[in-house]
Structure 1
């Protein structure tokens, strides 16, 4: 049992409240996932610039880490939040910076990259994880979050959601896949790599693999209905929006709310209680096997 939240802002005036609203929604899902949590926030994209999120960086390592990044990207900038760091660099320098991160060692690992995504996750109660990274103060256009109750693997930061396996793409999942090991082997043969044994990371990799072949997100999600065996609710974050998909049985709870100002997703309705204007929202349960997709104009 896990909890999912998502918030897509149509009204730019709400962007300063994105983090605070998402943090409150995440807190309400504590009972569905008290062992670890994570969230992805989208916003602040700048032309020609890439954001890279890394985790596991101790304060004593920051000086050497910064020096190493600046050696391959002199104009890189840094934002540190607890043991995570957001590196902003030019698009041209992104491969070199990522290579440095992956070779740095000392428990420091790559988390995500893209024009606008910042991804944070950790072990602990969702409220504590959100506070650790200052989610309530973050701004942006949309966000997704997840609270985890580990049932098939250990409680670790690596196993927490979201999983990001492609530029500005991440996935959170409530459910279980039965054929993820077979699919993992196929994806590894096609050049993908995985950090964990989590079935949700395989689902994220599967979508990235299909998108890399030129498919649209709705096409990739539709294909997953036949390629992924199990029960699941997916919420997928992208640079410009987010998408929702439930399996044919749709046994995992899901509810959505839409107003003129936003679209919200949650595993339970009570997560919407603090959203502005929720009393006027259109509230509905997403249908099984149907892709729901919202995005900002490019």
Structure 2
């Protein structure tokens, strides 16, 4: 059992309050996921020719300052960065592939949690409240965010096994449920060049979407195909650069609720996670239909 939550702001005037609005939503899912928690937040986009990466260390007190100095010396590219607890957000004017290659050489133990123009993924072991406080969620700004609280059932409780999982540039996935064919599918995807860092079944779902997108599928087509390729029961929330999507398997035994007002769209595993939102008493509230995709996105800049 896990908890998933998401908040997409239709009203840009609320973007300065995104973290404040979302924090109680994530913490409301503590009973569903006390082992670890995480979130993917979108905002503070970088410009043309730049890439934004979230890096997280697997050990405390990692010397990110030394890493940045080495990276700057190796690539000779303009960059900016800031540290947030055990993670840093790096903005650099370079090709993503070149940055990944350099990081793999300079810091093989540092995890690249996300990459793109807008996304930041922050996660770790501990109660949702601890994760919120660790990364300062309540003061964060942005346009939309998805989060997850985990109760581990099929793999170890680790930072790497926490959600969200990156599925490509500015894409990520959180999952409540269980996949029965993830061992076989992991082997097939590895033959296609998809790498995995954990034994988590959700990472396989993320890898499957990444592979389909690499083949040229749209997000909608990739999600449609996942309904046949992924055996098991699941509710997915998928973050994109411009919005988010929600989809449930055809049986839909994992709970989900959606709410929409003129100001926002919100989703959660349980209604209690939505109850703190302003205007929720007047929102359109409904249970997503099985095997049906819901997507909210603003137009690309």
TM-score normalised by length of structure 2: 0.96
Residues 71, 106 of structure 2: 8 Å contact kept? no
1:297 and 2:271 aligned = no
1:43 and 2:43 aligned = yes
- Superposed, 1:1-298 pairs within 5 Å as 1-48=1-48, 49-56=50-57, 58-71=60-73, 72-90=75-93, 92-105=94-107, 107-298=109-300
Residues 46, 91 of structure 2: 8 Å contact kept? no
With 229-238 and 99-108 compared, the bigger mean Cα shift is at: 99-108
State how far apart, in whole Å, the 2-side matches of 1:105 and 1:88 are.
17
Where 1:139 maps in the other structure, the secondary structure is coil
Give 1:95 deviation, angstroms.
2.3
State how far apart, in whole Å, the 1-side matches of 2:192 and 2:76 are.
30
With 216-225 and 27-36 compared, the bigger mean Cα shift is at: 216-225
Give 1:206 deviation, angstroms.
0.6
Residues 50, 113 of structure 1: 8 Å contact kept? yes
Give 1:62 deviation, angstroms.
2.1
1:245-281 C-alpha deviation (Å, 9 max, x unpaired): 1001100110000001110000000111111111110
State how far apart, in whole Å, the 2-side matches of 1:17 and 1:63 are.
30
| Ranges in structure 1 where 5+ consecutive residues have no aligned partner | none
Where 2:91 maps in the other structure, the secondary structure is strand
Residues 69, 76 of structure 1: 8 Å contact kept? no
State how far apart, in whole Å, the 2-side matches of 1:244 and 1:170 are.
12
Give 1:10 deviation, angstroms.
0.4
1:175-203 C-alpha deviation (Å, 9 max, x unpaired): 00011111111111111101101010010
Residues 67, 107 of structure 2: 8 Å contact kept? no
Give 1:47 deviation, angstroms.
2.4
Give 1:46 deviation, angstroms.
2.8
State how far apart, in whole Å, the 2-side matches of 1:220 and 1:73 are.
37
State how far apart, in whole Å, the 1-side matches of 2:65 and 2:9 are.
37
With 212-221 and 146-155 compared, the bigger mean Cα shift is at: 212-221
State how far apart, in whole Å, the 2-side matches of 1:74 and 1:107 are.
22
State how far apart, in whole Å, the 1-side matches of 2:271 and 2:296 are.
20
Give 1:106 deviation, angstroms.
6.5
State how far apart, in whole Å, the 1-side matches of 2:218 and 2:62 are.
43
- The RMSD of aligned alpha carbons is 1.2
Where 1:159 maps in the other structure, the secondary structure is coil
Give 1:105 deviation, angstroms.
3.6
Aligned length: 297
State how far apart, in whole Å, the 2-side matches of 1:128 and 1:119 are.
16
Where 2:82 maps in the other structure, the secondary structure is strand
After superposition, the Cα gap between the structure-2 partners of 1:100 and 1:259, relative to the gap in structure 1 and judged at 3 Å, is: same
State how far apart, in whole Å, the 1-side matches of 2:144 and 2:121 are.
12
